[in-house]
């Protein structure tokens, strides 16, 4: 199976599973999935987040998702338990479609690693 076809298939399975668990079956958007990864990485599930904190959670998620690709590395946890990452390598200039494929691939890899999907 081609890599693109495998990614498309795994992405569909992931969206379906996350949507059933977190969105009453309505298909979750990419940003919502990124947000979920941020909450998972922070580990503070019961908290209500303000808009700025939600953006920070998405930043945490992007850093964590792209860490295996060599773009970021974990640096430290601050006094409130928020993880911080250092830039290892600048992201290449990508077209919107290429960015979407990269982040979807990273998300699928993340959930494979967590054994949420197979």
- Rounded to two decimals, the pTM is 0.92
What tokens were used for 93?
């200039």
Structural domains counted in the chain: 1
Range of the domain at 58: 3-113
Q: Is residue 9 part of a domain?
A: yes
Which of 35, 10, 21, 2 has the alpha carbon at shortest distance from 105? 10
State whether the Cα torsion 114-117-68-46 is positive or negative. Answer: negative
10 lies in a domain? Answer: yes
Q: What is the pLDDT of residue 64?
A: 98
| pLDDT, tens only, 69-113 | 999 999 999 999 999 999 999 988 989 889 999 999 999 999 999
On whether residue 97 sits in a domain, the answer given is yes
Classify residue 118: in a domain, yes or no: no
Looking at the domain assignment, is residue 69 inside a domain?
yes
- Over 90: is that where the pLDDT of 15 sits? yes
95 within some domain: yes
What the block records as the tokens of 14 is 């992931």
Ramachandran class of 88: left when φ > 0, alpha when ψ lies in -120 to 50, beta otherwise: alpha
DSSP label at 94?
-
pLDDT at 3: 82
């Amino acid at each position: 199976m081609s890599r693109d076809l495998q990614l498309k298939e795994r992405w569909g399975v992931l969206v379906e599973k996350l949507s059933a668990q977190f969105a009453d079956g309505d298909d979750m958007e990419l940003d919502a999935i990124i947000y979920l990864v941020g909450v998972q990485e922070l580990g503070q599930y019961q908290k209500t987040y303000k808009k700025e904190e939600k953006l920070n959670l998405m930043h945490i998620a992007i850093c964590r998702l792209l860490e295996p690709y060599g773009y970021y590395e974990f640096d430290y946890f601050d006094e409130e338990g928020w993880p911080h990452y250092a830039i290892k390598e600048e992201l290449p200039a990508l077209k919107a479609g290429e960015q979407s494929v990269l982040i979807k691939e990273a998300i699928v890899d993340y959930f494979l690693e967590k054994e949420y999907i197979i």
